[in-house]
Amino acid sequence: MNQQSPVRSGTAALTLAALGVVYGDIGTSPLYAFKEAFSGPHAMALNQQNVLAALSAVFWAVTCIISVKYVWLVLRFDNDGEGGVLALTALTHRLAERQRASTRMLAIIATLGVFAAALFYGDALITPAISVLSAVEGLGVATPHVEKFVVPITIGVLIALFSIQRFGTGRVGALFGPITCLWFLVIGVLGLQSIIETPVVLQALNPLYAIDFAIGQPGKMFVLLAAVFLALTGGEALYADMGHFGARAVRIAWFGLVCPALMLNYFGQGALVLRDPAAIKNPFYLLAPDSLLLALVVLATAATVIASQATISGAFSITQQASRLGYLPRIGVRHTSDRERGQIYVGSVNWIMLLGVLLLVLEFRSSSALAAAYGIAVSGTMIITSILVAIVLLLTAGRSRLPLLALLALFVVLESGFLASNLSKVADGGWFPLLFGSAVFLLLMTWKKGSSLVARQRSAIDLPVQGIAASVLQGIPRVPGTAIYLASDRNLVPSALFHNLKHYHVLHEHLILVHVRTEEVPYVEAGGRLQLDRSEPGLLRIDVRFGFREEPDLLAALASAASQGVGIDPMTTTYFIARSVVQDGPGELSAWRCALYAWMTRQAEGAAAYFRLPPNRVVELGTQVLL
């Protein structure tokens, strides 16, 4: 064995795992994408010209947006190895701050990233609904008399899927890669057999079929783009999940198996409907022989459950990131694996998503109806990703910057066309992701604004740490023990200390002010976790740094202070926390947004639980804040 074999083995394992997590969404698009071009209220006539134009548009859209933009270009723009729109936003914001960008520019960057994250939640609801529905609809093809049970069976599968989330995906995660690998092999073979029977569809590899169709029939091409875009959904997952597997594994999986299998299946469906136009009712399942149809339904259901699992996990992850970056209150996160910190469970998000997904299934009742709601959120997120990458390029030097910016401009034009086409479906269901995304965006921005106002109000009344030992704390009686005060601003004395002094007129022998800071990087190395400041006599300041994807374990972090000569005895230490009670006042927030912010503060997880502090050693002191 040579020395490179362990590396190859590790890459192979990561590539197999990436198949199950990264490509579940885009990998199940053949279930519904192609047939939507020739069904529904905006269906095209089923003839050879239109089929070749549709296939050509699908092939070149996937090539440009997925293969070139995401797999080749965007995967290069990681935030310390992490991807996704929030990680990209944090990276862009950090680079803009270094270049001393204007406050307005920083606000635009943050708003773009947060809006894209909000749109993601709309996509996260639709993906499980349309994926599982489209898979179970295969039962209606195999045995038509059970067609009326498609919706109940879909609901049962979805309830089971969301119910097992609290147990974590560690045990079944090992199956995701092999099952998805089998899925791609099967759909590729089915498509290849159909192409061999009708090889004329291979002419669609020529981009002129799509170009001529767009020039000759621009109105029909505009409508067709909405169906073509369904083949691109899930593209953002390539970027969002790169931190789990690395760009190399994601690229190998795409070019080595996923892309060829998808293209073979799409072209196979086109070949089938050219031979038998009646097959357009469900060309994916009708590719399979009757004897294998039920087995394909089972495999498709497993593949769509995996795709849904990846989306649900993504919603948990983006919620955690939003909370760490200050756009959501502290939220209870439970890690479901001792080895993989990316496997988390957020109960509140899980049950809200289940309710939303079930309402979608009951409202739309078919994958074709849901397809009208799909696409708007994803296309909006794709455009924002392109814009943020362009900003990063503008903020960095490099000889290839101008060609890449020109390429990104082309991508924005293409994606804007997809967005415009999808917006034409607003009345048919596209209103849902827009409405839901707007509501989530309002929540995120209200929390950010309210939190900044609370911090500003506290900074106006709290005293600076500098000189506090000589001016205020001098001569105050001390009692044995250690008091740790959590400070929202490292330069200000937390209000809990003054409330404690006002009520008890004594202080602990050892005073420590702890300021927890979430950095715009995913993880912070252990050596840079703590920063100690002993400049004030009788008062120790500790800055604790966590990455936005880390779970803030304050006890574990403070225990590492022993290496710097600071011993903290858990049995003689008391933690003091200030809890704000929000009231409507003559502030910058309107009354209804103030009420919304106050409601969100009540839903937030307590600081003691969030930072993993021992409950019997915590004292909370309430302060009233007028916004």
Scanning the structure block, which residue is given the tokens 């991807």? 83
What pLDDT was estimated at residue 376? 85
Can you tell me whether residue 497 is helix, strand or coil? helix
| Confidence bin at 8 (pLDDT 50/70/90) | very low
What are the tens digits of pLDDT across the range 599-621? 898 888 888 888 889 888 898 87
Instruction: With CA atoms as reference, report the closest residue to 423 among 434, 413, 412.
Output: 434
Is the pLDDT assigned to residue 6 strictly greater than 50? Answer: no
What pLDDT was estimated at residue 337? 56
Residue range 462-626, CATH number? 3.40.50
Instruction: With CA atoms as reference, report the closest residue to 223 among 367, 372, 370.
Output: 372
Handedness of CA 310, 311, 312, 316 (dihedral sign): positive
Q: Give the C-alpha separation, 561 to 551, whole Å.
A: 18
Task: Look up residue 427 and give its two tokens.
Answer: 């009345």
Q: 136 near 282, Cβ under 8 Å?
A: no
Query: Any idea of the CA torsion for 198, 28, 25, 358, to the nearest 10 degrees?
Result: 140
Burial of 444 (0-12, 13-18, 19+ CB in 10 A): buried
Task: Look up residue 315 and give its two tokens.
Answer: 């919603």
What are the tens digits of pLDDT across the range 295-315? 999 999 888 888 887 788 778
Q: 177 near 17, Cβ under 8 Å?
A: yes
Domain boundaries, the chain: 8-449, 462-626
What are the tens digits of pLDDT across the range 484-526? 999 888 888 888 888 888 888 888 888 899 999 988 787 888 8
Q: Give the C-alpha separation, 388 to 90, whole Å.
A: 10
Main-chain phi, psi angles of 211, to 5 degrees: -65, -45
Q: 303 near 179, Cβ under 8 Å?
A: yes
Query: What global pTM score does this model have?
Result: 0.82
Q: Give the C-alpha separation, 135 to 139, whole Å.
A: 8
Residue range 8-449, CATH number? 1.20.1740.10
Scanning the structure block, which residue is given the tokens 């087995």? 295
63-72, 356-365, 586-595, range with the lowest pLDDT: 586-595
Scanning the structure block, which residue is given the tokens 């093809």? 141
What pLDDT was estimated at residue 446? 93
Can you tell me whether residue 396 is helix, strand or coil? coil
Task: Give the residue with greater pLDDT, 40 vs 186.
Answer: 186
What pLDDT was estimated at residue 448? 92
